[in-house]
Amino acid sequence: MATAKKNLASGKTPLRRADPLDQLGRELLVQIMQEITRDAVLTIDRDGRITSWNQGAEALLGWPAAEVLGRHFDFLLPEDLKRSGEVERLLEATESHGFLRDWETRRLTKDGHEIHVALTRMHQLDGDGKPLGATAILRDISPRKGLEEELLRARTLGAIGEAAARIAHEIRNPLTGIHNAITLLAAEFGPAHHRAPIFKEIQHEIKRVDVVLDDLLTFARHRPLSRQRVDLVRMLEKVVANLIAAGDLEGVVVRRYFPDELVVVADPSMLEDSLYNLVQNAAHALRGHNEALITLALKPGPKGIAITVTDNGPGITADIRRKIFDPFFTTKAHGTGLGLPITKKHIEAHGGRLRVRSAPDRRTTFEILLPPTVAPSN
């Protein structure tokens, strides 16, 4: 410091090379930080390439150090953040303030999952104040974020549900009236009349509206569980048979990993609807795909019963995955966007959980976890 001052004062050019001791000190500091913390700590050079990666980073993000050193850090960013310019925003923020503290964002793990993290980022300068790169610390805040989102969703759903139920009731009565009138007219003109196909078409469309209303009411209405003994193996076989009859499983191989029998005490219609929705979604995802395969598995375990529906379809991008449990969200021309919200509601009513694992071009697995309380007491 004194040297630099003297140099400045005497008008000489200050030292341009990094002070080796300072450099060593900084490296030591980063190393110590990396070892004592369970957070992910990584350093990157000026070009954004990863130069160190601690055990916390391996644990949080799933990548071993050997596979990431030298790579640009942007593979850790979800596509939507990359597109919205997060890399540039980060650089700008760190450059203008020297550091960034607890920036809440998302990162991708090796297996394609997104996690919520709080990011602290510090600029690293050499002895002359020239940028060397940055140190980033990532703290996992997924559990807290999950709760916040859950709460927000519950509130929104409550409001949407009430409005939807009222609208559905209002529409149902006139719709029944229209249906009856058309049926009467169709009967009067007879099936041979040249207008008969039009009546058929109207009846078909009314049926579709009716299905949507049904879904809406199921979703919005609170119905207490009506528990009975049911065999999940038979129930899944029935769901598959119904979907085959509806033509949804044409060209799809269905592989089953079932025990001989698995009896639970649960609400049969809620469970059947849930399974139907998941297998039907898998079938829809496989439309037009070669070697289409759906794998169904039933696994009883100490933590409850896991029912998984896996398909080898196109997978779900992280962007879409965030929305699939929102009511009315659909990517299908004739979808209602209520299948997954209803399924989630039914499963949670049993104290269970519905989870999804998917990424583009990977297999998609929806998993229902029923709690041990569904086991029959005998």
Ligand X SMILES: Nc1ncnc2c1ncn2[C@@H]1O[C@H](COP(=O)(O)OP(=O)(O)O)[C@@H](O)[C@H]1O
Q: Smallest Cα–Cα separation from 359: which of 314, 297, 294, 310? A: 314
**Interface with Mg ion includes 281 (CB under 5 A)?**
yes
Sole binder of ligand X in the list 127, 308, 364, 369 (CB under 6 A) = 364
189 vs 325, beta carbon nearer Mg ion: 325
For residue 304, the partner it binds in Mg ion, ligand X, none, with Cβ less than 5 to 8 A by kind, is: none
Give me the phi and psi of 260, to 5 degrees please: -65, -35
Q: Sign of torsion, CA 75 79 83 86?
A: negative
Give the binding-site size for ligand X (rule: CB under 6 A). Answer: 20
Listed ranges 68-76, 166-174, 216-224, 280-288: which one lies at the site for Mg ion (CB under 5 A): 280-288
**Interface with ligand X includes 281 (CB under 6 A)?**
yes
Angle, to 10 degrees, between the axis of helix 142-189 and the axis of helix 196-220? Answer: 150
For residue 336, the partner it binds in ligand X, Mg ion, none, with Cβ less than 5 to 8 A by kind, is: ligand X
**Interface with ligand X includes 340 (CB under 6 A)?**
yes
For residue 332, the partner it binds in Mg ion, ligand X, none, with Cβ less than 5 to 8 A by kind, is: ligand X
Residue 219 C-beta: closest distance to Mg ion, Å:
12
199 vs 366, beta carbon nearer Mg ion: 366
Using left for φ > 0, alpha for ψ between -120 and 50, and beta otherwise, residue 193 falls in beta
Helix (H) or strand (E) holding 184: helix 142-189
Question: What's the rounded Cα separation, in Å, for the pair 354 and 345?
Answer: 9
Q: Which residue is nearest to Mg ion (CB)?
A: 339
Three-state SS sequence of 58-96: HHHHCCCHHHHCCCEHHHHCCHHHHHCCHHHHHHHHHHH
For residue 316, the partner it binds in Mg ion, ligand X, none, with Cβ less than 5 to 8 A by kind, is: ligand X
At 85, the amino acid letter reads G
Contact pattern from residue 296 through residue 335 relative to ligand X, giving x for each residue in contact according to CB under 6 A and a dash for the rest: ---------------x-x--x---x---x----xxxx--x
Contact 257, 300 (CB under 8 A): no
199 vs 366, beta carbon nearer ligand X: 366
Question: What's the rounded Cα separation, in Å, for the pair 283 and 273?
Answer: 15
Site residues (vs ligand X, CB under 6 A)? 277, 281-282, 285, 311, 313, 316, 320, 324, 329-332, 335-340, 364
